[in-house]
Structure 1
Amino acid sequence: MNEAHINSLLRDIPTSVDYTELPEDIDPEDIPPERIKGVIDLLTHEDDYIVFQAARLLTSWGIEEGFDTLKKLLVENELQGIIQHRLYGYDETYKHVLYAFISYWANQSDAGKGEQVRKAIFEPVSIIIKASNTQHFQIKGLFRLVSKKGLVEYIPLLKEHLQIIIKNPEDNYWRIHDVIELFLNIDSDFVLQVLKENNKKLSDFGF
């Protein structure tokens, strides 16, 4: 498979699609089966970067083969330093992987498999949350699933997340703001407790 064809599989937007410029956001019904098959074939490519991109794209589309590969790469700690923040240079690979898992759950839910996939994504999403305790990437994309979609299994991990990152407010101001905003809606007493323990106020984080 030549480079032009690989790029086409990974990046093209169908001419009929006018609602996104991102291939990972294409609705499954707008993706030709032959393209899906072509991207699945890339999961065995010799270039690790192409394998990652193919797995992330397929996961976003709700394709199980992509999810299985992306989860395996994550669990085996093979996803470090692939995508850098364009301004600050820190590693935000896990942010993009998290969005792929969220999209996987959403697309599978639309297909009637929400509860089954909810269990399947728990381990990899938990790994990402724990990594975010000591790294700088954002996990805000998960918060709507917790507050609006009822994925409450992540609440203990996110409580721990806030308790850790609030120790370094200079490095984590907006991340602290975002997770406080989540918990103000679902457990405001917890927020007040954490703030008190760290001699902080809501106003210290823009509230």
Structure 2
Amino acid sequence: MNNELHELLYYYNEEGYEGYDLSEVQLLEKKDFDRIEKLKHLLHHEDRYMAYQAMLILLAWSIPEGFELLDRFIAEKWDEKESFEPHRLHHQDNVYDIITNALYISTLNGKNEQELFPYIKQFLLLYGDRFFESNLKDFLLKKDCGPLLKEIEQAIQNALQNKRYYQASQLFPVLVHYDKSRFNVYRDIFRPLISQDNRIAYNMDEAEKNSPNVSI
């Protein structure tokens, strides 16, 4: 990567803080017009990873061209052709979870969360056989995603079917957040699975906090 691309994708300098970090660039309050135009141009780079990184910034800044590339990314299944966000511990591609975070930031830049529901639905459809760390869960909890309740429950079922037990349990607090009546059913499903992954207990505790007057 040449210096110009490195500066374009990673350099930030705002309110006395300066450095190189794409996640900080996504959060910049002042968006430079020339930088936006260069990032749009980078969306057409022959290296998909370069285009992907430009997309993450433009998505966060709520720039339409970023969403256009995301549509292509999903339709052409770029994630099946190469790995974009290999997780440091789990050695699985966390790409859709990272994209979800960019979508969340876009709501801070004027994007209506309901406009993002088609993407979140797509990610929930993929939830059973793709890796998601925590950004999708956070989005579903922080935004008003009650209309996606059916898709959330189906994502849990798909993850359970594929033996992604911990990942399934991550959506347990989300489900109960929107429908407390589902607590007992899924408590009885997840409780025996703690022996296979004790991290499930943390999600069960969180679900209990979202559903007062019940007990694990």
TM-score by length of 2: 0.76
Deviation at 1:15, TM superposition (A): 4.9
Deviation at 1:85, TM superposition (A): 0.7
Match for residue 168 of structure 2 among 172, 176, 183: 176
CA distance, structure 2, for counterparts of residue 123 and residue 194 of structure 1? 26
Deviation at 1:68, TM superposition (A): 1.3
Q: Name the counterpart of 1:8.
A: 7
CA distance, structure 2, for counterparts of residue 151 and residue 20 of structure 1? 35
Q: Name the counterpart of 1:100.
A: 102
Counterpart residue identity of residue 38, structure 2: G
Alignment of 1:109-120 (within 5 A): 109=111, 114=112, 118-119=114-115
Match for residue 135 of structure 1 among 110, 113, 130: 130
What's the RMSD between the two structures over aligned residues?
Answer: 2.7
> Any conservation in 2 of the 1:75–1:124 contact (CA below 8 Å)?
no
> Any conservation in 2 of the 1:24–1:60 contact (CA below 8 Å)?
no
For structure 2, the 5+ residue unaligned runs are 195-199, 206-216
Partner SS, residue 84 of structure 1:
coil
Determine whether 1:201 maps to 2:194: no
Counterpart residue identity of residue 157, structure 1: E
CA distance, structure 1, for counterparts of residue 139 and residue 85 of structure 2? 24
Alignment of 1:13-162 (within 5 A): 13-16=12-15, 18=17, 22-26=21-25, 27-80=27-80, 81-109=83-111, 114=112, 118-119=114-115, 121-138=116-133, 140-162=134-156
Counterpart residue identity of residue 163, structure 1: Q
Which moves more between the two structures, 90-99 or 140-149? 140-149
Task: Report how many residues are paired.
Answer: 194
Displaced runs of 4+ in structure 1, greater than 4 A?
none
CA distance, structure 1, for counterparts of residue 90 and residue 143 of structure 2? 32
CA distance, structure 1, for counterparts of residue 6 and residue 20 of structure 2? 15
Counterpart residue identity of residue 13, structure 1: Y
Change (3 A) 1:58 1:88: same
Deviation at 1:166, TM superposition (A): 3.3
> Any conservation in 2 of the 1:24–1:61 contact (CA below 8 Å)?
no
Deviation at 1:82, TM superposition (A): 1.6
TM-score by length of 1: 0.79
CA distance, structure 1, for counterparts of residue 176 and residue 72 of structure 2? 35
Change (3 A) 1:12 1:135: same
Counterpart residue identity of residue 97, structure 2: K
Percentage of identical aligned residues: 19
CA distance, structure 2, for counterparts of residue 36 and residue 187 of structure 1? 41
> Any conservation in 1 of the 2:149–2:178 contact (CA below 8 Å)?
no
